[in-house]
Every structure is written in structure tokens, then in C-alpha cells.
Chains A and B, each alone.
Chain A
Amino acid sequence: MSAAHTPIRLQVDGRSVTVPAGFSVAAAIAQVATAFGTRKDASLRAPLCGMGLCFECRVRIDGADHQRACMTLVREGMRVETTTEPAHG
């Protein structure tokens, strides 16, 4: 149980966030932001299914795009960026 209480510090859009070990990146993002991404019509998106199927929670994690925040556990020093979907046209 003690490992679950280890505080993990990570960056979300440049802001420092501390959450316990075992938390998802989605939960860490939710501490400081409501929107996880933007679509081509500028509509904002955030997690829907919570179980890795809807892909609405995709963010950039340590430089890698399109990572599901709900499927990824927080790690010390992680850099998370909420993303903007490119315009389609």
C-alpha cells in the first residue's frame, strides 16, 4: 500500500502536478485542465470511456503524440502536453 502513496511529480502543459503513484495521466491532467485536445472545428475534448477505447484522451507524453492518458500511469518527471488536432482541409 505504501507505494501507492508515493508522490509523483510531473509536468502538464508546463505546470507542475503532484499525484500519488498509481494514478493515471488522465487523473493528473484533470488536476489542472478540463480539455485534453481540440478538434478541427475548435471543439474541445476530454476523456469519455475511461477504458482505452474511445481515444478522446490522447495527449503528447514525453514527446510522443497520440498517447491515451487513461491507459498510462504517471511516472516521475513525465512531460504531458494536451494537444491540438490539426485542421483538416
Chain B
Amino acid sequence: MAERYDVLVVGAGPAGLAATQAAAGYGARVGLVDAQSTQGGQVWRRDVRGAVPPDAAAAFRAVANLPNLDWLAQTQIVAATQNELLVEHDARARSLRYDKLVLACGARELLLPFPGWTLPGVFGAGGAQALVKQGWPIAGKRVVVAGSGPLLLAAAATLKKHGANVLGIYEQAAPAQLAAFASRLWRWPAKAAQAVALRAALAGVTYRAGAVVAAAHGDAQLRAIELRIGKQMRQIDCDHLAVGYGLVPNVELAELLGCALDASGRHPRVAVDADQRTSLANVYAAGEICGIGGRDAARIEGAIAGHAAAGAMQAAQAMQSARRRARRFSALLEMHFALDPRVRELATDDTVVCRCENVAWSALRDFDDARAAKLQTRCGMGACQGRICGTALAELGRYARGGLRPPIFPARLATLADSDFASIENQTAQ
């Protein structure tokens, strides 16, 4: 019971929606796959208690009711080859064959270990936003937002809109870094307008640069955090902490397929050419997976990938100068929100680093190889497959994340047994 698509798009965020719209415009049979129940990805995640922003609404409308589009919601990728995905939907196996694949898997938050970060009540910043958009009760709760990057403002605005008492937004970047960022923002008027709107929504909320959450305290749940501002320590009583240190590309599927990755930074990104083509001839990638660039770059790259996957190379190439311009913004972000080395030194001996397998920092600090650490401590062997701890250890400068093994997400044994999926190349070096 395999479905066959001319173009199969993975991820229904800004990039994936743009790719879908572009490819479907040529009459190609398109499949759009996402693990979430609605389109939008993370940045345009639907707020069950709020309205859809106009730009997101337009993107949703553009792919609604297309006769040549299959929208495959709540569909989790399990395994992949160069012409087929094994997916699970409603606890059942499905096989999706494709001619061209567009990877628009987006990004996840960079979550770094610090004492107390496993306490109930501590979320990622984007994590808090996502939970609240799906109904998490936040009204009247005292929330501290911390970490780094523009996402903090967006998250704080969502929490505040839903009645949270936002006690403050604490950005790790130094005040001078932020001032330099703001002074260059005028070149991207849409971004500047967003920033202005967010600051207006957050009027009256403290915003401090050069501040780092050093610890979270509580017994059965979070009670207070310890904030370090310069040399001063300050304790803030709160119900929730929303803390994230920026975004990291979700390259796992690309890695499993064998797409070449650019590993020059701390976190790998998918390497693509000007047409968004990866090292595999029939696999394209667009948006955050190619390096964190924000939704404007994602929209443009998604469209380029969609055009190119449908064979419309001229349309793809016409957008390349827009792409270059949008990508310059990501360079700006990277430079001005660069992490203070001290946020990489927050974990103490007994801080759990691998949350799935409960592996403490003291058990990991002496390893310099991911596989040896995994074999000896089980770090990264749990359900998240190292997405959290492996990424954190890479950021901490320990070692790159270890090789990935299928299934790419946990799946029912029946899904593995019932599929007619051919074989999975294990691309990871042993």
C-alpha cells in the first residue's frame, strides 16, 4: 500500500508550505508530511485559543484544497531510502515513494544543561510557546523567559497574551552586542517591524541583556531560579522558566539519507547548492535545516526547492538574489547572539545531561568520543536518540553527536514488521 509522489515535502512550516505551493503549481502530485496535527511548523504553530497571523493564513490558504496535494498530518518518519519513506500514522505503517524529496524539517531549540533544568516547570522558550499555543494553562503563572535570540521576545509575547505574569526576559548576549544588532536591523524592515510590534506587546516587561540563568530550584517542581547578571547573583521566585539558547537544524533525516552535511559549525546543517539541491540528486533542502535563517529565508528557499523539484529551474533561479539577501540576516543573528562561553559551563557534576537515561555530567566529562560515551554510559541511547543531550554536548564542545540509527523516531514494532519497505542504508560510520 505504497503511495507515490512526484514531490514529497517533509515539514509543513514556512519552507515546506512554500515548496508545496511552488511544486503543486506545476500540477505535480505532491505529498506534504508533518508529525504535527496542523500546518505551520513551529513558527506558525496554530494557537488553539488565538487567531492565525495574516502571513501564516495566506500560506495555509495557498495550499488548501489543492486536488494534487496529499496533506499527511500526524505522520512520523520512521526510516528512509533515496526513493521511499517509511512513516507511521495512527499507529500504522505507510510507505511513501517519491521521485523528488524536499526536506524542510526546520529547527529545534538549543537546550543546555544547568543545575535544576530537569525540574517540572522548566521548559524551552519555544517549548513554552508551543505548549501554551496548545492550551497549556499559563494564566496567572509567574514566568521567567531566558536564554538567547529573538525567539525569547516571541515566546514572551505569546505567554503574556495568555495571561502569564512575565517577570522578565533575560538575554545572555551582552548589551553592546544587542545594540549593534538593533542598529543594523533597519536593513530588514519586516524584521524591524516585527521587533517593534513585539516590544510594544511586551511593554512594561523587564528586558535585560548580559543575564544568564545559572540554576533552577525546587523539589517536586520549580520554585525559583538563580540569575547571574555580571558578577551579581539574584534569586527570582517563579512557577515557570522558559529558557532556550537559539535554534539548531533538524538534520537527522538528511543524515540518515546520506546527504552531505556542512559540519563547519558546532551543529551540522544540510549542504545545498543554489537550487537547494543536496548532495543527493533527487533530494532538496530548504529553510532552517540549511542553517538558521528565519522565516523569510525559509519561504524563499522553500519556493526555490519546490520550483526546482518540479523541474522549473528558471523560476528557481529567479529567486536567488532574494535568497542571498534573506540569508545575510542569519549571519547577523549568529554574530550578535553568539553564546557567552559561561553558558557552556553551567552544568555541575551531578547535573543530568542525558535526560532519557539519566546520565550526569560527571559520568561524561572524560569522554572525547560520542560512541564510547554511549557504550559506557548509555548517554544518547534513549528515546530522544541524543537530540537533546547530543546537541548540548556538541555545543559544550565535547564531541559531535554520534551516528544515528533507525528508526529515526520510536515506532511500533508492528510498523517495522508490517511495512514493505526495502532496506535502510546505515550511513553512519562505525
A residues bordering B, Cβ < 8 Å?
4, 19-20, 22-24, 26-28, 30-31, 34-36, 39-41, 43-56, 58, 66, 70-71, 73, 88
Which residues of chain A are near B137, meaning CB under 8 Å? 27, 30-31
Enumerate chain B residues within 8 angstroms of A51, measured Cβ to Cβ: 36, 42, 108, 126-127, 130
**Interface size for chain B: under 10, 10 to 19, 20 to 34, or 35 or more residues?**
35 or more
Q: Which of B134, B352, B388 contacts A70 (CB 8 A)?
A: B134
Sort A-B residue pairs by CB-CB distance and give the 6 closest, nearest first: A27-B135, A23-B135, A46-B120, A50-B130, A50-B127, A55-B383
Q: Name the A residues within 8 Å of B221 (CB-CB).
A: 34-35, 44, 46
Query: Chain A binding site: helix, strand, loop or mixed by DSSP?
Result: loop
Across the interface, do A50 and B129 meet the contact criterion of CB distance under 8 Å? yes
Please determine whether B126 and A50 come into contact, CB atoms closer than 8 angstroms.
yes
- Please state if B388 and A53 are interface contacts (CB–CB under 8 Å): yes
A43 to B134, CA, bound (A): 26
Name B26-68 residues within 8 Å CB distance of A. 35-37, 42, 48-49
Partner of A54, one of B119, B355, B358: B355
Q: Which positions in B face A, CB cutoff 8 Å?
A: 35-37, 42, 48-49, 74, 108-109, 111, 118-124, 126-131, 134-137, 220-221, 352, 355-356, 358, 382-384, 387-388, 410
Residues of A within 8 A of B126 (CB): 49-51
Q: A27-B136, A30-B137, A49-B388 are in contact. Are A43 and B118 (CB under 8 A)?
A: yes
- Shortest C-beta distance, B290 to chain A (Å), equals 19
Closest to B120 in A: A46
Contacts beyond the supplied A26-B131, A26-B136, A50-B128: 11 A-B pairs with Cβ under 8 Å: A20-B49, A24-B131, A24-B135, A35-B220, A41-B358, A45-B355, A50-B131, A50-B134, A54-B111, A54-B388, A55-B384
- CB proximity of B184 to chain A, nearest CB, Å: 30
User: With a CB–CB cut-off of 8 A, which chain B residues contact A28?
Assistant: 135
Q: Point out the residues of chain B lying under 8 angstroms from A34, CB to CB.
A: 120-121, 220-221
Pair B384/A39 contact, Cβ less than 8 Å: no
- Nearest A residue to B250, CB-CB: A53
